[in-house]
Amino acid sequence: MYFPTMTLHGRVALITGSTKGIGYGLAHGLARAGANVVIASRNQQDCARVANEIRTTGRQATAFAADVTKSEQVKRLVEHAVQEYGRIDILVNNAGTAVTARAEDITEVDFDRVTGVNMRAVFFVAQVVGKQMIRQGGGVIINVASILGLVGEKQVLPYCVSKGGVIQMTKALALEWAKYNIRVNALCPGYIITPMNEADLKIDRIYNHIVSKIPMRRLGQIEDLVGAVVFMASDAAGYMTGQSLVIDGGWTAQ
């Protein structure tokens, strides 16, 4: 019986928002699994720093600054990746943002900024990369959503809306692009400790509120997501598309 491998040797992975937080951890994880990586975020110095870190592990890495909400910059990012490696086998659509406010206080600027990065840009990055994958005969797209695309939470309405949209987008793209040998799935993390939320999570009131809802009674670490993403990117998930893989310590099982 054939046993599929989770190795990514020889494959090229493009990770947006990969200079910090979840994207940074996933870029390193994909590299450890054998992929050559394209590091992308808005700051070229940050991209170069992370690419240099990955090169020290023996993997190839290239850095390219791009604002994923700007279509021309996304096109240049993809062109750069293809010029460097000839193809893109894996896209991790990770760049995201959030705003915390009561629903009655959310402004149009807040709503448009969060949905623009978290949902609109996710589609248009996937579209540009998807066209390349169609030309080359296939690929894997992993959209980073959230458990808050599946369940609600107070004071983060635009985030919930955008992540719910990403989950539906994942399903629709999977259906359209299955004929091109492109698999599209979503990763739905629960509460993961990152540099962006670390300070808030040190506040007892916030920490206790969140952990009390997690059956495993702990917050997630970025490392908790790496295996799931390597699995989705690999041949081991070769018959999986249009799905949302939830990594949340049991939050959404309740």
Q: Would you name the residues annotated as active-site residues? A: 159
Contact (CB, 8 A) for 13 and 51 = no
Tell which residue, 94, 101, 184, 96, has the closest CA to residue 139: 184
Sheet holding 36-41, edge to edge: 61-65, 36-41, 12-16, 90-93, 139-144, 182-189, 244-247
The amino acid at residue 54 is I
Which position has the token pair 């919930």?
160
| Phi and psi, residue 21, nearest 5° | 60, -140
E-assigned strands of the chain? Answer: 12-16, 36-41, 61-65, 90-93, 139-144, 182-189, 244-247
